[in-house]
Amino acid sequence: METRYIVTGMTCQHCVAHVTEEVSAIDGVKSVDVVLEGPMTVVSDAPIDFAAISEAVAEAGDYKVSLA
pLDDT of residue 48: 97
Q: Return the domain boundaries, the chain.
A: 2-67
Q: CA–CA separation, 31 vs 16, rounded Å? A: 14
Other C-beta atoms closer than 10 Å to the C-beta of 55 total 15
SS3 of 57, please? helix
pLDDT (tens digit, 0 to 9) for every residue of the chain, 68 residues total?
Answer: 999 999 999 999 999 999 999 999 999 999 999 999 999 999 999 999 999 999 999 999 999 999 99
CATH architecture, domain 2-67? 2-Layer Sandwich (3.30)
Please tell me the predicted confidence (pLDDT) of residue 44: 97
**Predicted pLDDT at 30:** 98
